[in-house]
Amino acid sequence: MKSIPAFCLSLLCGAALAHAADRPNILFIAVDDLRPELGCYGKDYIKSPNIDRLASTGVVFEHAYCQQAVCSPTRTSLMTGTRPDTTKVYDLVTHFRAALPDVVTLGQHFKNNGYFVQGMGKIFHGGYDDAPTWSTPWQTPKAVAYALPENVELNQRQFEVEPDDVAPARPPKGKVVKPVRDRAKDDTAASKFDTRGPAFEGADVPDNTFQDGKVAELAIKTLQEMSQKKEPFFLAVGFIKPHLPFVSPKKYWDLYDPAKIELAPNPFRPKDAPEYAILPGSEMRAYHGIPEGRIPDDLARQLKHGYYAAISYTDAQVGKLLAELDRLGLRQNTIVILWGDHGWKLGEHDAWCKHTNTENDTNAPLILSVPGMKHAGEHSRSFVEFVDIYPTLAELAGLSLPSHLEGLSFKPLLENPARPWKQAAFSQYPRPNSGKPLMGYSMRTDRYRLTVWVGRDDHSKIDAVELYDEFFDPQENTNIAVVPANAELVEKLMKQWRAGWQGALPVAGHN
């Protein structure tokens, strides 16, 4: 690609540039099940040097929230720039084009504006790719899930029904298996089905044994090819770790001392919260060796060790990609964004995985690095949502914004990370609830998290309300909505909640 001099953020963020060749490239990095547990988020016990270096060149968003804490709905929301009630994707079996057949996705919008758009790894949920998004077919290299033969054999037991957000697998040759309940519809269904390999593994093998190592190699090769093209590129690279199973090469396990790994400080359910607000995590129970009920401390520590090792494994792949970007001389004209699709529980509230409206599950990492930005290395505590990523990248590239978007470009936060911004962020999660379908709508403000459980088909029927004081109770351990003295506060927040995301936009004069 023709070398373009470094440019300042004010120029990059200005009016649409005249020629596509003058527009910045986009390196779009997705990480599956990554909670904001990284060195750049103040977690110095995590070994994430490459993502931390990326953060030093960009802005770290501490209050970035997904719209629904499970893979397909959150990725759909981000890639379409619309919220789950618009996409109608609340599960892992619905494609967004059923409800939005003509929607222009993020990648598609860049493609329509002269970009070469390519995707690899996990961008959309497995099995639900979207061909119109890409200039060339999306691809993911094939790789083993486990390295050790005994674990490979255990993993062959899986069949049609898979844990939550893992693509369905075919049964072993010569064997007929009987499907069980649909886990995408019932989070408790997998709790008694041990159908997969172990939840973690640390074999002494090279990085490219597994999918993320192969994806990094493919991304590097693709960058080399893209550097020869005349048009700007949008390269989407999706890494699957630290998603279960927590499998990574042994050298990443060796970065951590298991004796120093601390367990969750609140291994109990929130007081006075509805029983269905937090489920134990059936996705975890589908793996060999994970018991029903409470997970023993020794096993919990092993699981956290595996999760941390998987973070470091993915961090190393990110580092390889960024190093190649530098080597090719592309960094000076490439916007790099890294996001985790949602948070994750590691024993908090005596639960694992995601699938709730809690802070643990809805708050996710988001780092945006733009060449020439004057606030590189700074943090923003302003609220941003994943639906905001689409308009932000489009505006940074000088593209017009489609009318269907339900997010807001946070470009102004790059110019002033501390400026007043959104008053709240919004998430949601459904529950079947024994034949009475509910939807929990959650609003996170600077001080509180309010979650209102309403009838799925009749939002006027309120089943339960949760309220947590994030200042005095940041772990969300006590629901104070049931305290009579808080009735006025609840009603005040309910009024704000009813105004929705439109009512939380920056006030006039602060845009």
Q: Is the Cβ–Cβ distance between 258 and 300 less than 8 Å?
A: no
Looking at 13, 71, 342, 355, which residue is catalytic?
71
* Residue listed under structure tokens 């054999």: 153
Bridge partner residues of 201 (DSSP): 247
Tell me, yes or no, if 13 is annotated catalytic: no
Dist. CA 423–CA 342, nearest whole Å: 20
Dist. CA 212–CA 121, nearest whole Å: 8
Q: Token pair of 508, please?
A: 């006039």
Looking at 63, 95, 125, 355, which residue is catalytic?
125
Nearest to 37 by CA among 448, 245, 347: 347
Nearest to 118 by CA among 13, 12, 221, 259: 221
Tell me, yes or no, if 109 is annotated catalytic: no
Q: Token pair of 317, please?
A: 């792949």
Element (H, E) at 164: none
Query: How, if at all, do strands 352-353 and 345-346 pair?
Result: antiparallel
Bridge partner residues of 479 (DSSP): none
Phi, psi of 116 (to 5 degrees): -90, 120
- For the chain, the maximum distance between any two Cα atoms, rounded to a whole number of angstroms, is 67
Dist. CA 219–CA 208, nearest whole Å: 13
Q: Token pair of 270, please?
A: 């929130």
3-state helix, strand, coil in the chain (%, to 5): 35, 20, 50
∠ CA(304), CA(308), CA(310), 5° rounding?
115
Q: Is the Cβ–Cβ distance between 279 and 188 less than 8 Å?
A: yes
Dist. CA 375–CA 372, nearest whole Å: 9
C-alpha distances in Å from residue 370, one per residue of 68, 94, 269, 329: 27, 34, 41, 15
Bridge partner residues of 60 (DSSP): 367, 379
C-alpha distances in Å from residue 379, one per residue of 26, 41, 300, 419: 21, 9, 31, 12
Phi, psi of 510 (to 5 degrees): -110, 5
Q: Is 453 exposed, middle or buried (0-12, 13-18, 19+ CB in 10 A)?
A: buried
CB neighbours (10 Å) of residue 508?
Answer: 6
Residues labelled as active-site residues? 71, 125
